[in-house]
Structure 1
C-alpha cells in the first residue's frame, strides 16, 4: 500500500496540480508523520538511520515514538512540545501535567506560541526546583568572534532575565521606530534582518550617549496586589519576559521601572484621555497593564510591539481614551474593519473583545494574554490544570 502511495505521489510531481490540493497535501504530511512514528515504535535511532532517516529526523521520530501523543495535537506542535520538555529537570514530577497544559494550548495556538508557552512552563518548573536563585546570573556570558570571510563577526551569549528584559525593551523600541519610517509593501528584509537593524540602532543610541526625553517607556513591570513577594514569584513585563524580585531590584537603578497599574473589578483601567490621536505615555502604560499583549484572539505579540488601536475609529469621533483603546500588533491591526461590518473590536466591561462578521464575540485567551493584569483581576492567576491520560 505504501509503495503504491509513493508511486502516486511521484506521478503527482509530473502531473499539473492546482493550489486547491495544497490543503490535502498538508493533511497527507500529517498522516505520514503519524505513520512513521507508529512504525518506529520499538526501533532504535540507529535502525531509523539505516532505513534512510537523517540523524535529526531519526531523533525526532524516536522521541515521538517513545512519548505519549495526544491525538488532537498536530505533529509540528508535538515535536516542539517534546523538544521543550527535553530541558525539563529530571527531578520534576510534573512532566505529564506540563505536556497536557502545552497540548491544550496547542489546540488554539500557532506552533511558535505553543513552543514559547511550553518553554515557559519548563522554565518555571526548573526555577521552582532550583536551589540557587543566582544560577542564571552566574551563567551570564558574551563573546564576539573574529571576522569571517565576509568581514562580519558572529556573537553569542547568555543573559539573566533582568538583562534580557532590558535589552529586549530597547530592541523592541528600535524595531517599532524603524517600522514606522518604512513602507511595508516595499520592505523586502527578512525578520532576522529587521531584528539585526534594530540591534544596530540600539548600538547607535548607546554610542551617542543617548538620553531619553521622549516620554516613551522602555520597560514596565505589572504587579497585582495579591502577588506573594518571594524570589520565585514572576512578574510580567511589556516585552514578554518574566522577572522576579531580584531582577526588578537589579534594574531599579536604571529608573526604567516606576509604574504600578490599578484595575477595577472588571480588569478595566481608569480613564486617561488626551486630545491627541496617538496614545500618550501613560495610556500605553495602562494598555500594557490591562491587555499585556495584542488583543486579537490567539495572538501573543507583547505590548512593546503593538499599536494603540481606536476601537471607535478616530475618524468617527472615537476619543483617544483608555476605554476606547486596545493593543493590536501591526499584522492584526491591518485586518480590523473600521466600518464594523467585518471583524472588529468592541469594548465590553472596559476590555476589548473581538466581534466577527457573524456576531461571534471572543476574547484573546492565549497563554500570554492570561498573564496581563486586567485578565488576572477578573479571572485570577492562570491555574495549573490536572489531566488524566487515557
Structure 2
C-alpha cells in the first residue's frame, strides 16, 4: 500500500512535489468515490464506522449507497442533491426532484444545486403538510458558560422570525463597520448580534424602528395564503407572516412593481399606530369614540375603521380610538356595530340605533 501511495504521489505531484496532473487527480477522486459507494452498499453506518470511517462520512456513504447515482453527476453534486432530499417529508416525488437536481447540476456549482433541491423539497413539504414557515421545528438552546465564560447557542427559527432576525442583523452589521476593520466575517456577525441584543435590552426607540423589512409585490401576483413574497433579506414570506411582523417597533415597506420590474408604489406595512399618530388621535378624539365612554387615549386600542386585513391603511383618516371593552364589540363586516367616518370624524354606528349626526 505504501509503495502504491508513493507511486501515485510521484505521478500526480511530479519530481518537484507540485501538481502536474491535477485534472487527472480529480478524475481519480470521482472514481474512488464511486468505488467507496459500491463497497458501502448493504452496510449500516455502524458497520462503516467499524472499518475506520468517522461518523459524518459514514452517513454520507450510507446515503449515497441507498440511492441511484447517475453517471453524469459528480460526487460533489450527488451529495448536494441527496442531502436536502433526506428532508423530504413524502418520498413520492423523490425521483422527480432528483432528476431536476441532475439537470441543474449539469450547468451549475454544487452550492447552487443544493439550494435548488432544498427549495424543491421545501415547496413539496409545504404543499403536503401545510406551510407553517417551519414553526413546528422552532427551537433555541443556550449552553452553560465554557472555560472562557462564553456560551454556545443553536436553534431553528420559523420563516417570519428568521426574516426579522436577518433584517436586524443586517442593520447592526452595517452600523458596526469601520475603516481598517481587521475582524473576520464570523466575528463581525457575532458583534452584530451583540448590537441587536443591546438594542433590545435598552428598549431602543426611533421613528423607523429597529430595522426595515422590504416586501416586494408584483402587480400580476395572485394573492392567496400560499403566496410567497420576496424580501430584502432573502427569505420569502406569506401574507400572514408579513402581518405577523407588523408592530410598533418594526417599519415594514411594501414595494409594488409592474411586470417589467418598475416601481409603481411604495408604502409602509406598519399595522400599529405610531407615537405621533396617537398624539393626533388625542387632539381629534380625546377619548374612546363609543358614545358616553370617557376612557382616555392611553387606555385605548387604535382601531382600523377599514380593517387592516382588507387593505385599510394605518393613517389618521382610517383610525379611531376604542377602549378594549368597546373594541371587542366592533363587527368588521359592518353588518352590526362598527365605526364609520363622518366629515372626517369617527362615529360609532349601532345597527339597532340610528346613526349620530
- Measure, in 1, the Cα distance between the counterparts of 2:155 and 2:198: 20
After superposition, the Cα gap between the structure-2 partners of 1:84 and 1:20, relative to the gap in structure 1 and judged at 3 Å, is: same
In the alignment, structure 2 segments of 5+ residues that lack a partner are 267-357
1:122/1:51 CA distance change after superposition, 3 Å? same
Counterpart of 1:41 in structure 2 is 41
Aligned counterpart in structure 2 of residue 228 of structure 1, from 222, 228, 236: 222
Kindly indicate whether the alpha-carbon contact (under 8 Å) linking 1:221 and 1:257 is maintained by their aligned counterparts in 2: yes
CA offset at residue 212 of structure 1? 4.7
- What CA distance in whole angstroms lies between the structure 2 residues aligned with 1:73 and 1:182? 44
The reply on whether 1:252 has 2:251 as its aligned counterpart is: no
Match of 2:140, SS? Answer: strand
1:238 corresponding residue in structure 2: 232
Shift of 1:117: 2.6
Q: Aligned pair count?
A: 264
Please tell me whether residue 176 in structure 1 is matched to residue 174 in structure 2: yes
User: TM-score under structure 2 normalisation?
Assistant: 0.63
Match of 2:262 among 261, 269, 283: 269
Give 1:199's match in structure 2, choosing from 185, 188, 193: 193
When normalised by structure 1's length, the TM-score is: 0.58
What is the Cα-based RMSD across aligned positions, in Å?
A: 3.3
Question: SS where residue 57 of structure 2 aligns?
Answer: helix
- The 3 A distance-change label for structure 1 pair 151 and 3 is closer
Structure exhibiting the larger radius of gyration computed from Cα positions = 2
- Judged with a 3 Å threshold, the aligned counterparts in structure 2 of structure 1 residues 200 and 228 are, in CA distance, closer, same or farther, namely same
Select the residue among 212, 231, 239 that pairs with 1:218: 212
Q: Displacement of 1:103 after TM fit?
A: 2.6
Counterparts of 1:106-145 in structure 2 under 5 Å?
Answer: 106-131=105-130, 133-134=131-132, 136-145=134-143
Tell me: CA distance 1:59–1:70, structure 2 relative to 1, closer, same or farther (3 Å). Answer: same
Matches of 1:48 and 1:168, distance apart in 2: 39
Q: 1:177 to 1:109 in 2, by over 3 A?
A: farther
1 or 2 for the larger relative contact order (CA 8 Å, sep ≥6)?
1
Report the 3-state secondary structure (helix = DSSP H, G, I; strand = E; otherwise coil) of the residue aligned with 2:141: strand
d(CA) in 1 for partners of 2:13 and 2:50?
26
